[in-house]
Amino acid sequence: MEYIPGSNFLQSIVSDDLSSGRIKEVVTRFPPEPNGHLHIGHAKAISVNFGLAEANEGRCNLRFDDTNPEKESQEYIEAIQADVRWLGYSWNGEVRYASSYFQQFYDWAIVLVTQGNAYVCDLGADEAREYRGTLTESGRNSPSRERSVSENLDLLARMKAGEFDDGAKVLRAKIDMSSPNINMRDPILYRIRSTPHHQTGTDWVIYPTYDFAHGQEDAIEGITHSICTLEFEDHRPLYNWLIEHLPVPSEPKQYEFGRLNPSFTVTSKRKLKQLVDEGVVMGWDDPRMPTVSGMRRRGYTPAAIRKFCDMIGTTRSDGVVDIAMLEFAIREDLNENAMRGMCVLRPLKVVLTDYPSDNIENLHAPAHPSRDDLGERLLPFTRELYIDADDFREEANKKFKRLVLGKRVRLRNAYVIEADEVLKDARGNVCEVHAHIIADTLGENPADGIKPKGVIQWVSASHGKNAQVRLYERLFSHESPDKGDNAFMDHINPESLEVVMEAWIEPSLAEASPEQRYQFEREGYFVADRYDHCSDKPVFNRTIGLRDTWNNR
């Protein structure tokens, strides 16, 4: 699988605008609403907005569209900033907020009312939907539409003063109730919300809608290219109408690109929040979540996520992207950069009967097979070892390339051994294997010419460390868990997490720093948990297997 960079229609637009002199500098913005954690779709939007600015020596603002205090919080604001930084991007200047412009928005609302282009409407939510019409039927004018300018100004001031209950009145633009574009049928500009705001406290009880605030924020900040996903294409006429009817300091232009829709994934914030609220996952940063914080905790790297966003390209069409592309990107990154280590997930004791019980041999192995700069790691070798139970059979056919009674196998980076006998528990299960070392096989093949059947991992039983290992899989078992009639909660993968409490690891792995990534040889790629891992109680999360086995299920 080879990645070949493709064309980017947004870059073509930017290049034309620069060469024609329409703009002197590229200024973009990433404008998340702080009502949840960022997910992989936001990572794509971040890469587009910050990437365009970086590629053209421009600037990108981070601005929170915080116009709905009922669903927003400071926790989300801080988490979003951390995610953007972790992905490797730096925003221009200070963090910006829509709430910083509330007074300006209100002043411009007065301008629209004074022009006769906005009015205070008394219709309730159900009545407003009825008056709005449908995609095939024109809307009807509100009974409030012909109020005088003076009456509208008075009512708007009283809305601001808190005289009316939530939902009692709204401010609407006066455009065209017969427009084929429903977004132009007298859209709401302000609504009453007697909810304290995380930035402005109780200063305001009316808040602008996203549609009213968005373009004006861009204009205030001098944004040259307002990049949105395709669902906002039908909102662009309203964006332009407001820019044309207000005395804004600049005239930004909106462009849309296809949003990222990965397979086997849900990216709706509402649905992700439901997963958290109902305890399906352990939080927004659960490693099974498609959030940036979840992928970070699972062991994904910023480089892999950015590479994935480049691989899928930026186009004018929506479509489903195979999640295997993201998994390819992280495998490729970790294969090149993750240090190696050995972990036994299901330990079976092996006693080397011809090895002295008090002997400890410190063997050495490369930290990475092709990265000398990463150095070596120390492997204590002792009489009693653990191998994985799946790597032993009392009897097996020739296809089984591991340890079998009477047969040989090489312990990775150590000796060739031969299994002699087994001990079993009361139920007949093998609980211990006795074996002997084939002499002079450290780094050499047996002198008698009988080669081992395979290579297996191992850990010293006395010097290895017990670890908790969390084996993560895809959270959903359906390719399109929330499309069509699919009820996404019905497609939760019951095998998305297996916790192994009695795994054994090389002793050096216990000293890993949180978020340090490894390839556990023959097992997959793992990361030391950023919160729970410590040297006394090591905890590792599986990032991804060594190869894609999902399609073989």
Residues taking part in catalysis = 33, 259, 269
- Contact indicator for 514, 533 with CB cutoff of 8 Å: yes
- Contact indicator for 496, 462 with CB cutoff of 8 Å: no
- Tell me which DSSP letter residue 184 carries: G
Q: Please tell me the distance from the alpha carbon of residue 105 to that of residue 428, in angstroms, as a whole number.
A: 77
User: ∠ CA(321), CA(34), CA(479), 5° rounding?
Assistant: 20
Q: Please tell me the distance from the alpha carbon of residue 271 to that of residue 508, in angstroms, as a whole number.
A: 40
- Contact indicator for 264, 479 with CB cutoff of 8 Å: yes
CA 512 to chain centre: 24
Three-state SS sequence of 421-457: EEEECCCCCEEEEEEEECCCCCCCCCCCCCCCCCEEC
Output the six-digit token pair for 352: 């080397």
How many angstroms separate the Cα of 300 from the Cα of each of 74, 308, 462, 494?
A: 25, 11, 32, 22
Output the six-digit token pair for 501: 């409490």
- Contact indicator for 58, 52 with CB cutoff of 8 Å: yes
- Contact indicator for 359, 382 with CB cutoff of 8 Å: yes
